[in-house]
Amino acid sequence: MVNQIVNIDLGSRSYPIYIGEDILQDFAAKFKEKFESSRAAVISNEKVWGYCGERIKRSLISNSVDYELILVPDGEIAKSLSVADAVYSELIIKGFERKDSIVALGGGVVGDLAGFVAATYERGIPYVQVPTTLLAQVDSSVGGKVAVNHALGKNMIGAFYQPSFVYIDILTLKTLSNDDFSDGLAEVVKYAFIKGNPLLKILLDKREGILARNADVLTEVVKLSCSIKGEIVEKDERDAGIRAFLNYGHTLGHAIESTTKYGFSHGQAVAIGMVFAAKLSNRLGLVDKDVVELHKNLIASYGLPTSIPSANSDELIDVMKRDKKRSMGEHVFVLLGGIGNPIVQRIDDSLLSSVLEEFISGG
């Protein structure tokens, strides 16, 4: 049963986020309530479908929802124009029209790809996010940023396209590996640093319950994370101002992903990026060293890396020069003026290079 609802208020593009434990079997009832006779193109991958497919399938059949399953590759490789093209072909062959809908069942990669396809197929058809990883539940499924990657950069080809609703079953988190679960916690930690309490206090006080995947604690964590992101998105849907705060840790994080060819997961890269952003904030006199130490200790306590000792600073800076957040010849970073006080600051190449080399060397 759905026991939490977070509403994202965007006028005509508003939508609810439904959160509950063991609610996948009720999904099709919500779908039919929203779309009536719409067909569903369920986009997923074999791994997720193996875990969740039977419950979704039974729900769709029992509610007489006509659906087609479209499986895409697992992993970041699926976020590409070539895979999107294959999905378009499936939709065209199977006769999907603008009145029909897409269901994104999976993690952030599936959600980003499916949302991008929904935004561009027949100039836009409705879609629903059913995120099955913590990373997707607290971050990528909320806010309407959809994209595929380019060989020269992550998320370079995309759109702002809001889902019709988001449907989060906390029970799906039981299927995640420890690494995948920790990956999602990086984004939760991000929200805690840019917003502060009560989320930061929960992360500090309820670590055992979180790592044990206690459903009640995770429901609270997911709801707070979605609420924080939703509050920012409501004020800046199209990333023209404070939505940049959600990029805390991401500028270096995306560069780490690109230079290592995704050898680091998104959450791992962002975790390292947050520690670096805290260090950069300290170098600029914005925060004391204890804030940097808090970053290191909290991030490490959830099984995430805090450094990247074998990196090449020149390669990282080259990638950051192509970053879509770069402005007026300088690098744009989200930094902290204190816990819960994110700020956007331009950093010149010289300072960035100095602090990054020190960071890589362990200083």
Give ∠ CA 181-344-267 in degrees, rounded to 5: 15
CATH of span 179-360? 1.20.1090.10
d(CA 18, CA 27): 10
331-336/342-347 β-pairing:
antiparallel
Q: What is the pLDDT of residue 262?
A: 79
DSSP helix/strand/coil, 330: strand
Q: What is the pLDDT of residue 328?
A: 54
The structural domains of the chain, with segments of one domain joined by +, span: 2-176, 179-360
Q: What is the pLDDT of residue 322?
A: 76
- Topology of domain 2-176, per CATH? Rossmann fold (3.40.50)
153-160/2-8 β-pairing:
unpaired
Half-sphere exposure of 150 (CA within 13 A, CB side): 10
Task: List average pLDDT for each run of 10 residues in the chain, which is 363 residues long.
Answer: 89 97 96 92 97 96 96 95 98 97 97 98 97 97 96 89 98 95 97 98 98 96 98 95 95 92 90 98 97 98 94 91 65 96 94 94 81
